[in-house]
Amino acid sequence: MTEPRQDAAGASAPAHEVTLLVRAAAGADEESDFVGGCGGAGCGACAPARARLEQVCEEFGLTPTCVDVDAAAATDPELRAEFGDRLPVVLLDGREHSYWEVDEPRLRADLAR
C-alpha cells in the first residue's frame, strides 16, 4: 500500500496509480508480482520497461501494476483495441503516459506532483 502524497498546499492527496500494459509471452515468469507475468520469455520490449518502471516507482514508494491486454480482452476488448499496437504502454492515473518505453524524466516529474 502506498502512502498518500502531499499536494502543493501540504494537504494529503491520493497516491498515483501506475500501470504497465503488455502482451505477455507464453511461458512468462509465474513468480512475478505482476498480473499476467509481465516481461516474460520472448517479451523483448516489456522486460526492460518493467525493470525501469519498477525502479522509478520505487523512488516514490509506489508499486506498479501490470496488465496483459490479451488476457484482459476476455472482459475488456477495448483495452487491446486501444493499446495493442504500441505495447508496452505506461498509464499514469488511468491515462496514457508513454509507450514502447518508459519516459523516465517525464514520469519522475509527473509522480512528484
Is the whole-model pTM more than 0.95?
no
pLDDT tens readout for residues 20-79 = 998 875 334 444 444 444 544 445 788 899 999 999 999 999 999 999 888 888 899 998
In which element (H, E) is residue 97 found?
strand 95-99
DSSP 2-57: PPPEE-TTS-EEPPP-EEEEE-PPTT--TT-SSTT-TT-TT-TTHHHHHHHHHHHH
From the list 26, 37, 30, the residue with the least C-alpha distance to 66 is: 37
